[in-house]
Amino acid sequence: MEILNKNVIVTGGANGIGKALAKAFKNAGAAYILIADLDETEGQKTADELGIKFKKTNVSSESDIIELIETANNDAKSIDIFCSNAGIGGAPMLLDVSTEDWQNIWEINVMSHIYAAKNVLPQMIEKGSGYLMNTASAAGLLTQVGAAPYSVTKAAALSLAEWIKITYGNKGIGVSCLCPQAVKTAMTANGAGTAGVDGMIEPEECAAAVIEAIEKEQFLITPHEEVLEYINRKANNYDRWISGMQRLQGKYEEFYGDLLKDK
């Protein structure tokens, strides 16, 4: 899909990858950009800086997502691209993760994508064109040592994007899923753990990869090229890959101590 003159929504747009996406869409000639975030101060600051629009939004609330879509439709008459980008890291490990923590990360990392899709897809299908870009993670493809909730929810986000592409791809709906390893954002300010094994990249590198993928209508976006090799290893010999990940778990337990150990 060509981005020039398109109308775009980006959730999690106040900072990090979301802010970089908004800048990239602006530079690519999008006609209308609406960013959404729970952080009203930083969200409005970013909007003012880029000359775009901001709406405070709790992406775990379907009613907020509906209001976000209505705002864009009222402003721009239609939505061409919806980037469901907002997400959180959540609690580490598994045994001490509360049910409340599981529900919170599930609502933000998974249900937000579902709410966006079910409420924006009908208008896209009706006009025969539209694009969804979901931000997941390499953790959704490969798992994340030390973080069960993050791994599980990112795998679910990836699976949803894949299902939408399979189901609606022949109806004019483009879908891409962003799956980076460590990116320099607030989420990784205190370190990225095993996700940083191949180094951290800037949010702008993710955004550039997204723009290219949308223009090519490419599904999987892996700004870290190593991820593709890891996927191949996993597919070729699943048990061997798990053994390798267990060794990685052991190495990082030695480095991070109790952080990567379930009690």
pLDDT at residue 188, as a whole number:
57
250 token code pair: 């052991």
In a domain, 137, yes or no: yes
Domain count, the chain: 1
- Strand duo 81-84 + 7-11: pairing: parallel
Q: In sequence order, what E strands does 118-158 have?
A: 130-135
In a domain, 232, yes or no: no
In a domain, 260, yes or no: no
Please return the burial class of 160, using the count of CB atoms within 10 Å of its CB with bins 0-12, 13-18 and 19+: buried
Q: From CA 243, how far away is CA 230, in angstroms rounded? A: 13
This prediction's pTM: 0.93
| CATH number of the structural domain spanning residue 39 | 3.40.50.720
- Distance, C-alpha 89 to centroid of its chain: 12
150 token code pair: 């993050």
- Residue 25 predicted with pLDDT over 80: yes
| Block residue for tokens 């753990």 | 193
The answer to which of 5-9, 27-31, 143-147, 234-238 has the lowest mean pLDDT is 143-147
- Mean pLDDT of the chain, nearest integer: 93
pLDDT at residue 193, as a whole number:
56
Nearest to 38 by CA among 66, 71, 60: 60
Per-residue pLDDT tens over the stretch 147-197: 999 999 999 999 999 999 999 999 999 999 999 988 886 665 555 455 556
| Block residue for tokens 């996700």 | 195
Torsion angle of the four alpha carbons 229, 234, 239, 243, in this order, in degrees rounded to the nearest 10: 50
Range of the domain at 25: 7-225
